[in-house]
Structure 1
Amino acid sequence: MVVRIGVEEEFHVIDVESGALTPRADAVLGRLPRHRGDFTQELPQSVVESNSGVHTLLDELYTDLSSARRRLDEAASSQGLAIMAAGAAPIARLGAVPATDDPRYRAMTEEYRRVADEQLICGAQVHVDVPDKDTAVRALCAINPWLPPLLALSASSPYWLGSDTGYASWRTMIWQRWPTSGPAGCFTGAEEYDAAVDELIVTGVISDPGMIYYDVRPSAHLQTLELRICDACPRVETVVLLSALFRALVVDACAPADAPPCDDRHEWLRTATWRAARSGLEGDLIDPATHRPEPAPHVVRSLLRRLRPTLEAYGDWELTQSLTEEALARGSAAHRLRRAAHDNDLLAAVDLFLAETRGENWNRRGRAGARRRTTRTRAEDVPAQARRR
Structure 2
Amino acid sequence: MAAPAATAAPAPELERFQESAPLSLGVELELQLVNTHDYDLAPYSAEMLRLIGKMSLPGAVVPEMTSSMIEFSTGVCHSTSEVLGELTTLRDALVRCADKLNIACVGGGTHPFQQWHEQRIYDRPRFRQLSELYGYLSKQFTIFGQHVHVGCPDADSALLMLHRMSRYIPHFIALSASSPFVQGQDTQFDSARLNSVFAFPMSGRAPYTLHWEEFAKFFAKTTRTGVVKSMKDFYWDIRPKPEYGTIEIRVFDTPLTIERAAALAGFVQSLGSWFLQEQPFVPEEDDYMVYTYNRFQACRFGLDAVYVDPPTGEHLPLREHILHTLRQVAPHARALGAGAAIEMLAESAEDGLNDARWLRETHARERLLAEMVRQAADCFRGRPGSLV
Task: Name the TM-score, length of structure 1 as normaliser.
Answer: 0.87
Partner of 1:108: 130
Question: Where do 5+ consecutive residues of structure 2 fail to align?
Answer: 1-20
Partner of 1:353: 376
2:53 corresponds to 1:30: no
Partner deviation per Cα, 1:312-339 (whole Å, 9 max, x = no partner): 3324334422343145437111111111
How far apart are 1:257 and its partner, in Å?
Answer: 4.5
Q: Give the count of matched residue pairs.
A: 365
Partner of 2:35: 15
Name whichever of 155-164 and 217-226 sits farther off.
217-226
Distance 1:328 1:66 in 2: 27
Find 2:244's aligned residue among 222, 245, 249: 222
Partner of 2:335: 313
- Residues 229-248 of structure 1: pairs in structure 2 closer than 5 A: 229-248=251-270
Q: Judging changes above 3 Å, is the alpha-carbon distance between structure 1 residues 291 and 351 closer, same or farther for their aligned structure 2 residues?
A: farther
Distance 2:371 2:146 in 1: 24
AA in 2 matched with 1:339: E
Partner deviation per Cα, 1:208-245 (whole Å, 9 max, x = no partner): 21122211111142011111111011122211221111
How far apart are 1:104 and its partner, in Å?
Answer: 0.9
Partner of 2:302: 280
Q: Judging changes above 3 Å, is the alpha-carbon distance between structure 1 residues 271 and 2 closer, same or farther for their aligned structure 2 residues?
A: closer
Q: Judging changes above 3 Å, is the alpha-carbon distance between structure 1 residues 2 and 268 closer, same or farther for their aligned structure 2 residues?
A: closer
Find 1:137's aligned residue among 137, 159, 163: 159
- Residues 1-389 of structure 1: pairs in structure 2 closer than 5 A: 3-33=23-53, 38-255=60-277, 257=279, 259-260=281-282, 262-288=284-310, 290-326=312-348, 328-329=350-351, 331-344=353-366, 345-361=368-384
Distance 2:215 2:237 in 1: 15
- Structure showing greater radius of gyration is 2
Secondary structure of the 1:249 match is helix
- Does the 8 Å contact 1:237/1:323 carry over to 2? no
Q: Judging changes above 3 Å, is the alpha-carbon distance between structure 1 residues 261 and 111 closer, same or farther for their aligned structure 2 residues?
A: closer
- Does the 8 Å contact 1:7/1:52 carry over to 2? yes
Partner deviation per Cα, 1:277-334 (whole Å, 9 max, x = no partner): 1011244344456444433421210111222332233243344223431454371111
Secondary structure of the 2:51 match is coil
- Does the 8 Å contact 1:25/1:47 carry over to 2? yes
Distance 2:210 2:100 in 1: 52
Distance 2:228 2:282 in 1: 33
Question: Where do 5+ consecutive residues of structure 1 fail to align?
Answer: 365-380, 382-389
Partner deviation per Cα, 1:238-270 (whole Å, 9 max, x = no partner): 112211111122233345848446253412111
- Does the 8 Å contact 1:43/1:99 carry over to 2? yes
Q: Judging changes above 3 Å, is the alpha-carbon distance between structure 1 residues 186 and 342 closer, same or farther for their aligned structure 2 residues?
A: same
- Does the 8 Å contact 2:191/2:356 carry over to 1? yes
How far apart are 1:346 and its partner, in Å?
Answer: 0.9
AA in 2 matched with 1:27: E
Name whichever of 34-43 and 178-187 sits farther off.
34-43
- Does the 8 Å contact 1:136/1:254 carry over to 2? no
Name whichever of 252-261 and 129-138 sits farther off.
252-261
Distance 2:38 2:385 in 1: 18
Name whichever of 62-71 and 205-214 sits farther off.
205-214
Distance 1:301 1:258 in 2: 17
Name whichever of 284-293 and 47-56 sits farther off.
284-293
- Does the 8 Å contact 1:210/1:220 carry over to 2? no
RMSD of aligned alpha carbons: 2.3
Partner deviation per Cα, 1:181-207 (whole Å, 9 max, x = no partner): 223231131122222223223323333
How far apart are 1:271 and its partner, in Å?
Answer: 1.0
How far apart are 1:114 and its partner, in Å?
Answer: 2.3
Task: Name the TM-score, length of structure 2 as normaliser.
Answer: 0.87
Q: Judging changes above 3 Å, is the alpha-carbon distance between structure 1 residues 238 and 71 closer, same or farther for their aligned structure 2 residues?
A: same
Q: Judging changes above 3 Å, is the alpha-carbon distance between structure 1 residues 154 and 271 closer, same or farther for their aligned structure 2 residues?
A: same
AA in 2 matched with 1:12: Q
Q: Judging changes above 3 Å, is the alpha-carbon distance between structure 1 residues 233 and 322 closer, same or farther for their aligned structure 2 residues?
A: closer
